[in-house]
């Protein structure tokens, strides 16, 4: 984009980023793609990203997104429902976490503390809490209905009811108390399918870093902003196959892996230059599920991980 570096783009409000992306998209889109978008009403009409304000720092909670996911709450644990792709992706989440930990010899560590941000109905949070290597999981989400579903499903497994093993909280990350000391931070802070729903990613991400202990990891997943991802996630998944509800994604809010890494490199406490930065592209194959495809992070879904320097 002509006037915005990758990291500075993440700092802009959603409405401004949408305008920049839309302008760039119109300049580069092929006539066929532009025609298809116009026919389906997809020449970008952005949602209203009105951010609710709580206490400082400004809340990342988006009332529109909360309302949208409230309507999906009842289907969260239906493996064939609107969250089917999330259920299928969950094993790869753990695979990627272990890959990140292995870069510094931490794949066999125990007593890990997780913070799962935007936990939804608890698909990842529950699976992490069941691991023998886990000490505790705190899972936060601002959507009341999905937290209610998560707590209800938690009661099915007595292991998850052990004190301190899995705790759900219905609020934004800004309302979570900060660690009292660096060592009290989390080993893993996860952001799965969340960042593309945040109005201003840069300050949101920077705020999260306060919760990671030195040597810990910020690990997430999102979608690259390309014509391929528009076709697969918006046109095919939402409009044709109806694999996810219409309006789940906003294409202009997708984030390139180069933008994510550029942001990470500007954060002094992160080790984003060497093996402290990890990325893995994944592709959904009908009938087979999610599969790692090297290089696909440049045009579709991907996992990213960045390590907080041990010196901090």
Taking only the tens place, the pLDDT of each residue in 127-142 is: 999 999 999 999 999 9
Read off the pLDDT band of 76 (50, 70, 90): confident
pLDDT confidence of residue 46 = 34
CATH of the domain at 303: 3.40.50.150
User: How many helices (H) and strands (E) are present in the chain, helices listed first?
Assistant: 10, 9
Phi/psi of residue 114, nearest 5 degrees: -110, 145
Residue 176 scores a pLDDT above 50? yes
Angle CA 200–255–145, to nearest 5: 60
103 Cβ partners below 8 Å, 6+ apart?
275, 276, 278, 307
Q: Is residue 32 part of a domain?
A: yes
* Higher-confidence position of 239 and 107: 239
Q: Could you list the residue range(s) of the whole structural domain that residue 155 is in?
A: 6-308
Residue 39 scores a pLDDT above 90? no
Q: Is residue 228 part of a domain?
A: yes
The mean per-residue pLDDT over the stretch 277-294 comes to 95
137 Cβ partners below 8 Å, 6+ apart?
113, 114, 115, 116, 125, 128, 129, 165, 166, 167
Residue 278 scores a pLDDT above 90? yes
Residue 19 scores a pLDDT above 60? no
Residue 48 scores a pLDDT above 60? no
What mean pLDDT value characterizes the chain? 83
pLDDT confidence of residue 81 = 86
**Per the annotation, does 247 bind a ligand?**
no
pLDDT confidence of residue 69 = 55
Contact 190, 219 (CB under 8 A): yes
pLDDT confidence of residue 53 = 35
The mean per-residue pLDDT over the stretch 25-38 comes to 40
The two structure tokens encoding residue 103 = 């870069």
pTM (two decimals): 0.79
pLDDT confidence of residue 35 = 33
Q: Is residue 283 part of a domain?
A: yes
pLDDT confidence of residue 63 = 60
**Per the annotation, does 196 bind a ligand?**
yes
pLDDT confidence of residue 205 = 94
The mean per-residue pLDDT over the stretch 146-167 comes to 96
**Per the annotation, does 197 bind a ligand?**
yes
Q: Is residue 1 part of a domain?
A: no
The mean per-residue pLDDT over the stretch 141-166 comes to 95
**Per the annotation, does 157 bind a ligand?**
no
Read off the pLDDT band of 83 (50, 70, 90): confident
Residue 29 scores a pLDDT above 80? no
DSSP state of 209: G
Q: Is residue 210 part of a domain?
A: yes
**Per the annotation, does 93 bind a ligand?**
yes
Contact 267, 256 (CB under 8 A): no
**Per the annotation, does 78 bind a ligand?**
no
Taking only the tens place, the pLDDT of each residue in 199-230 is: 889 999 999 999 999 999 999 999 999 999 99
Q: Report the C-alpha gap between 179 and 171 in whole angstroms.
A: 17
pLDDT confidence of residue 5 = 60
Q: Is residue 175 part of a domain?
A: yes
The two structure tokens encoding residue 116 = 């799962």
Residue 28 scores a pLDDT above 90? no
pLDDT confidence of residue 10 = 66
Of 54-58, 65-69, 75-79, 83-87, where does mean pLDDT reach its minimum? 54-58
Residue 157 scores a pLDDT above 90? yes
Q: Report the C-alpha gap between 208 and 188 in whole angstroms.
A: 11
CA distances from 294 to 105, 227, 281 (A): 23, 19, 6
Q: Is residue 202 part of a domain?
A: yes
Residue 110 scores a pLDDT above 70? yes
* Higher-confidence position of 19 and 115: 115
The two structure tokens encoding residue 26 = 């119109």
- Domain total in the chain: 1
pLDDT confidence of residue 243 = 83
**Per the annotation, does 192 bind a ligand?**
yes
pLDDT confidence of residue 74 = 72
């Amino acid at each position: 984009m002509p006037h915005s570096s990758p990291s500075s783009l993440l700092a802009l409000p959603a409405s401004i980023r949408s305008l920049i992306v839309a302008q760039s998209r119109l300049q580069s889109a092929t006539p066929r793609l532009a025609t298809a978008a116009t026919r389906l009403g997809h020449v970008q009409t952005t949602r209203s990203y009105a951010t609710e304000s709580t206490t400082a720092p400004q809340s990342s909670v988006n009332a529109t997104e909360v309302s949208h996911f409230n309507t999906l709450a009842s289907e969260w644990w239906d493996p064939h429902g609107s969250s089917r792709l999330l259920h299928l992706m969950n094993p790869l989440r753990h695979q990627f976490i272990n890959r990140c930990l292995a870069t510094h010899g931490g794949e066999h560590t125990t007593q890990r503390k997780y913070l799962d941000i935007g936990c939804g109905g608890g698909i990842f949070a529950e699976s992490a809490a069941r691991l023998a290597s886990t000490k505790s999981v705190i899972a936060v989400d601002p959507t009341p209905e999905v937290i209610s579903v998560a707590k209800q499903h938690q009661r099915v497994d007595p292991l998850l009811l052990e004190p301190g093993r899995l705790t759900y909280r219905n609020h934004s990350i800004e309302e979570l108390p900060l660690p009292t000391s660096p060592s009290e931070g989390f080993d893993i802070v996860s952001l799965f399918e969340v960042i593309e729903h945040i109005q201003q990613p840069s300050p949101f991400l920077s705020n999260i870093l306060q919760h990671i202990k030195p040597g810990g990891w910020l690990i997430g997943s999102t979608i690259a902003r390309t014509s391929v991802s528009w076709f697969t996630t918006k046109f095919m998944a939402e409009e044709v196959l109806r694999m996810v509800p219409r309006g789940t994604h906003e294409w202009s809010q997708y984030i390139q892996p180069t933008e994510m890494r550029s942001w990470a490199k500007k954060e002094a406490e992160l080790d984003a230059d060497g093996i402290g930065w990890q990325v893995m592209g994944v592709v959904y194959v009908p009938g087979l599920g999610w599969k790692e495809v090297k290089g696909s992070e440049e045009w579709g879904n991907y996992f990213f991980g960045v390590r907080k320097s041990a010196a901090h």
